Amino acid sequence: MSIAQARPDAVVLAADTLVALENEVICKPVDLDEATQMLRRLSGRTHEVCSAVLIYHQTSGRSAVFHDISRVRFRRLNRAMIDKYVAKADPLDKAGAYAAQGSGAEIIAKINGSFTNVVGLPMEKTIDALAKFGIRPRKS
């Protein structure tokens, strides 16, 4: 049973993010060797991070679909830097073998676009889209 069927009044959000280098999609690495190879390819280069988001309300049939693209430039990474990153980060569950948050700051030179998109969900666009469904962030 889908979430929409189990909770028909719920607003369901689904999203996924991919990394692309020169029009080639870079998925999640299958092992640490592949993670190392991915980071070598990204070293000193600019790539794109694209997230696609779907928001759906089954009862009303309303939906919103959007995407965001950010450009990320990596620092030039030597073997020691890559080995250190792979050892302390968890590269296997991330497209492109890296995360922008945490130790990812050590390997990223610049982000053009949404930082939260690079993390995995473009919050700026998501908040705007959810507002159209009457959902607003809680104030802390």
Average pLDDT over residues 1-9: 76
Q: How far apart are CA 140 and CA 121, in angstroms?
A: 20
- ∠ CA(101), CA(107), CA(108), 5° rounding? 70
User: Has residue 137 been placed in a domain?
Assistant: no
Question: pTM of the entire structure?
Answer: 0.88
Count of structural domains, the chain: 1
116, part of any domain: yes
Query: Could you confirm whether 90 is annotated as catalytic?
Result: no
Annotated active-site residue in 16, 33, 90, 128: 16
In a domain, 34, yes or no: yes
Per-residue model confidence as pLDDT tens digits over 35-69: 999 999 999 999 999 999 999 988 899 999 999 99
Alpha carbons 53 and 99: distance in angstroms, whole number: 19
Looking at the domain assignment, is residue 139 inside a domain? no
- Reduced to 3 states (helix: H, G, I; strand: E, B; else coil), residue 86 is helix
* 65 within a domain of the structure (yes/no): yes
pLDDT at 107: 96
Structural domain of residue 80, as residue ranges? 3-131
Nearest CA among 21, 69, 56, 34 for reference residue 129: 56
Q: If you count DSSP H runs as helices and E runs as strands, how many of each does the chain have, helices first?
A: 5, 5
Q: What CATH number does the domain containing 12 carry?
A: 3.90.950.10
